[in-house]
Amino acid sequence: MTNRVFKLPDIGEGVVEGEVVQWHVSVGDKVAEDDALVDVMTDKATVTIPSPHDGEITALHGGVGDMVAVGAALIEFDGDGDSPATEPAEKAAPEPDPAPSPEPAAAPAPAAATAPVAPPPVPSISAPAPLPTVSAPAPSAGGKALASPAVRRRAREAGVDLSAVRGSGPAGRIRHADLDAFIAAGGMVQGAAPVAYSTRRTDVEEIKVVGLRRKIAEAMTLSKRHIPHFSYFEEIDVTELEELRQTLNATRSPEQPKLTYLPFIMLALAKLMPKHPECNAHYDEANGLVRRYGAINLGIATQTDRGLFVPVVKHTEAMDVWQAAAEMQRVSGAARNGTATLDDLTGSTFTITSLGRDGGLGATPIINHPEVAILGVHKAREMPVVHRGEIVVRRIMNVSSSFDHRIVDGANGAALVQSLKRILEHPAMIFM
């Protein structure tokens, strides 16, 4: 048997490092060829690295959340198999190694270096000293009861000893209701038991921010730190659009997808963008360049059980409403079930985000860097409005938008939203 080192292979064009998201093996485990070893996240996707051959794991390099460079040692194991991504541990010894000893026998030492990945609990958090005293609201016989001057005056007038009354307020403070209950019960009931305070919890759960959640955090920080956002809000009357949507859904063929508002909004944006090219663009800050795109590649913000993804519907300008709906369902479905390709997740020029039934009235969406604009779509609702001089019930949908104020002036951002409002309120214009 030979102790071998398995290095992180090249897992994508231009990828130079990956983040360890989840280990599927531990030291001492026996694995077979093609067994899952570890999940590694790159800039755009999570890849499961399989075992190159049979063997027993002797060391793991890197803990969850650690970055591992392509070509760096990832796993050591005993095994007779051969693989281009493995080599004897003796050859890996001359490489820079965090272990203090250069002897080959010390090769497993980096596995021990991964132990501090989960930081030890801080004593002041896991066992706070002052809190137990707070959970004892009942005053001692010789102690002074907590109560306001008004409650004390009432107690004196009623001849009630406040030390006999149990308070339901913070830290056992006696309230008027506690005094009323004590008097009403003839002094036999000590007020309302402060259940909320006697069961106060002091445990703290620490969750390491790794994988997709870390990528989302980095992307949001990048956008908010570098992009001066300005936001713009509008109401859109989608009554006629709703009638058209229902008519098309009622007459669609079995192979055609059910239409929501988003495919219509996608087509409307595709029709409008040639008149608002500054909004369908990327800003390359490092090179001082704005790249305006002819293709309308719309990112669709999609919430999954693994976090937020932005799959892309490409060349929306060449689609009809059914094609746009089908492609949107395909890429968002792939993002949700984890089958989205790198091509599905890259190349957007403008992003749409929708919270669906939880859409609320407004938001301030964060731009998907390096794009310069984003549109937020909110829940449509029936409400009374003035329409053609009369108060009638119409279906109204709010939209929120954000723009990069370095590239898009306020008037230009407002003009895009107002153009979208006009076309959605007269949906026949989408197809003209």
Ranges of each domain in the chain: 3-117, 144-198, 229-431
- The CA-based dihedral angle spanning residues 66, 72, 76, 81, taken in that order and rounded to the nearest 10 degrees: 140
Name the DSSP letter for residue 147. Answer: B
H or E, element range at 3: strand 3-7
- Measured CA to CA, the distance from residue 24 to residue 164 in angstroms comes to 60
Residue from 80, 320, 409, 426 carrying the catalytic annotation: 409
Give the β-pairing of 281-284 and 289-292: antiparallel
Q: Which residues of 52-87 are buried (b: 16+ CB within 10 A; e: fewer)?
A: bbbbebbbbbbbbeeebebebbbbbbebeeeeebbb
Angle at 52 between CA 51 and CA 53, to 5 degrees: 90
Looking at residue 412, its pLDDT comes to 97
- H helices within 227-355, ranges in order? 239-251, 261-272, 321-337
**Which residues, including other chains, have CB under 8 Å from residue 261's CB and lie 6 or more apart?**
238, 241, 245, 377, 380, 397
Q: Angle formed by the axes of helices 261-272 and 321-337, to 10°?
A: 110
Greater pLDDT, 88 or 261: 261
Position 191 pLDDT exceeds 60: no
Highest mean pLDDT among 108-117, 150-159, 184-193, 343-352: 343-352
Q: What CATH class is the domain 229-431?
A: alpha beta
Residue from 24, 229, 315, 405 carrying the catalytic annotation: 405
> In sequence order, what are the beta bridge partners of 39?
22, 48
Q: How confident is the model at residue 135 (pLDDT cuts 50, 70, 90)?
A: very low
Taking CA atoms, 30 is separated from 56, 168, 335, 393, 419, in Å, by 4, 59, 33, 68, 63
- Measured CA to CA, the distance from residue 171 to residue 138 in angstroms comes to 9
Which CATH fold would you assign to the domain 3-117? OB fold (Dihydrolipoamide Acetyltransferase, E2P) (2.40.50)
The pTM of the whole model exceeds 0.75 = no
Question: What's the maximum distance between 2 C-alpha atoms anywhere in the chain?
Answer: 92
- Measured CA to CA, the distance from residue 164 to residue 187 in angstroms comes to 8
Position 95 pLDDT exceeds 60: no
Is 315 tagged catalytic? no
Q: Please give the share of the chain, as a percent, with pLDDT higher than 90.
A: 45
3-state helix, strand, coil in the chain (%, to 5): 35, 25, 40
For 144-198, the fitting CATH number among 3.40.50.2300, 3.40.50.2000, 3.40.250.10, 4.10.320.10 is: 4.10.320.10
Position 121 pLDDT exceeds 80: no
Question: Which residue matches tokens 């066992």?
Answer: 127
Is 405 tagged catalytic? yes
